[in-house]
Chain A
Amino acid sequence: MHPPFSMVFLTTLIGAGQGLFLALFTGQVFSQFKLLQAHDSQFFVIGTAISILLLCMGLFAAFFHLGRPERAWRSATRWKTSWLSREIIALPAALGAVALYGLAHFLGYTEPLMITAGGTQIDLTLLLGLLATIAVYLLFICTGMIYAGIKFLQEWHTPLTVINYILLGTASGFTIATALAAYFATEESSLVPFYATWAIIFTFLALITRSAALIRNRFFIKPKSDMRSAIGINHKNIKQIAQGSMGGSFNTREYFHGKSAGFVNTMKIVFLVMVFAIPLVLLVLTFNLSGLIIPLVAVAVQYLGLMVERWVFFADANHPQNLYYQQIS
């Protein structure tokens, strides 16, 4: 497939936004259950603001994908059958839920509504956070299923696609949260080790599942269609000599990335280094070296790496229609 840049931006930006929210809420839950020191309330306000910004930027990028963005509202109508439609509902829903969560923190609605037997205080932010967590996961599933749901793209048609969207988004979100914690860190208290630990865990998990997808696509996929089934002629030796036009067409632009196999393979190594190797090293370093620079570099490298990763995700997928477009003439 030809990697559409709007989709590369959309999926990486909202992934990071969702991940950042999950990181904030994880932190809050740990604090609330007294497993972690308390957060500065500004931490949640600024964190959610960044998360919302990322989600909005993703939404903005998505409009560039549409030929007729002015009709985008229509796309919410077929949620019964279309994962794309579901995503278009889930994205504003998640955005709204995260915004409510941030607003509750901003307005300081932290009076406990009830106190559990164990002494844990349940307040409005916790309830809204729970709601937003559900919305964020639904959005992850919708985004993943848009790709995993198309059976013709065998490279995408696997649960690994959804799992990778969740884990990669979460990992990048926790890395951002680490940087945010470094920003808020004081001499006496620092939440950096907490967020860095989780960022390392998620980055490592994502490394495993993303590598699994790479290996699956490289070694274990047997294309279901071949020339014989494409034109229905049972012969081993079929060669295209004309594709019906001398110039290009939508079919040659939309489904081919136009780069060499070597380039795609190089990009695979590039993203493995940028999404996983470098951020993992930097995140480990934050345990001993304080300061904002290291986690910020980790965020930047990982985000750029995720853009490469998404490019490879598209370029790696082989559409069966390509069988009909192998030779111009």
Chain B
Amino acid sequence: MTQLALVIDLNVCVGCHACVTSCKEWNTSGQAGPMVDQNAYGEDPTGTFFNRVQSFEIGTYPQTETVHFPKSCLHCEEPPCVPVCPTGASYKREQDGIVLVDYDKCIGCAYCSWACPYGAREMDAQQRVMKKCTLCVDRIYDEALPENERKPACVMSCPTSARLFGDVHDENSDVSKAIRERAGYQLMPEWGTKPANHYLPRRKTEITIHPDELERADNPLSKEERKQHNAPSSDPSLDDMTSW
């Protein structure tokens, strides 16, 4: 069975919010839209987002590291938000494991959001129905798009390729390999929700540099070389006159 999901590489995410912006742009004008903003330029701006990038500081100053942490619906394999819905508006698709809300059935009771430990669901203040990440279900199967663009908008936009998209049940997919080889993990595993989305941890990137690698023996830019070249030349052609 297919289970589509995102794998987010915390090692390369720079917290630029490109995924947040492109998610909002795609979805507000798509099937799931509009994602309403209120008081956008006022004192207390608020709005619906499927995806948010949060930042955390880890360690004790000055030994701290900043981790940027994108969070959206994790499309849990055991989604606790689905059985509690009284209308059946929340459901998990058999064919690809995407958890969706049917906006025409939702009564806006917010009960499903209480049953999601990740705070991934947001009530749209204007449409008054529950909204959440759709994994861009209206993009990924759209045959009008070139094949390499049939991915969620956030994945398309990430400048550091921190977001991978694929089938986590196919052990040969890029996402499965990334999870396997780069210690992919799930959020709050203690609740047994089995999130489909995974995160790749921070890795220390270290290289060893030897002193002789720092200075090139025949560096044409070295002071000695430049002195030699800057000495007045007797050659007539201009080319030979060139000096650094």
Contacts and interface: CB of A to CB of B under 8 A. Distances in A.
A244 B49 contact: yes
Contacts of A229: 187-190
B108 A68 contact: yes
The contact size tier of chain B is 35 or more
Given A84-B86, A152-B80, A224-B190, A242 B55 contact: yes
Interface stretch (A12-20, A266-274, A320-328): A320-328
Contacts of A149: 84
A326 B55 CA distance: 11
Interface string B99-125: 000000111111101111111011101
Contacts of B46: 245, 247-249
A42 interface: no
B56 interface: yes
A250 to B, nearest CB: 4
25 contacts: A1-B114, A68-B128, A75-B86, A77-B86, A81-B83, A84-B111, A151-B80, A231-B67, A231-B69, A232-B199, A238-B57, A239-B56, A240-B56, A241-B55, A241-B66, A242-B55, A244-B49, A244-B54, A245-B49, A248-B44, A249-B122, A250-B48, A320-B118, A320-B188, A324-B54
Contacts of A235: 58-59
Contact of A84 (B53, B109, B129): B109
Listed from nearest, the 5 A-B pairs whose CB atoms lie closest are A67-B108, A67-B128, A321-B119, A244-B52, A85-B86
A290 B210 CA distance: 98
B88 A255 contact: no
A83 interface: yes
Nearest to A67: B108
B114 A153 contact: yes
A323 to B, nearest CB: 9
A150 interface: yes
Interface residues of A, number: 57
Contact of B129 (A67, A240, A255): A67
Nearest to A88: B86
Interface in B165-220: 185-191, 199, 201-202
Interface string A67-100: 1110110111110011111001000000000000
A321 to B, nearest CB: 3
A231 B54 CA distance: 10
A325 B121 CA distance: 14
A63 to B, nearest CB: 10
A41 interface: no
B71 interface: yes
A321 B118 contact: yes
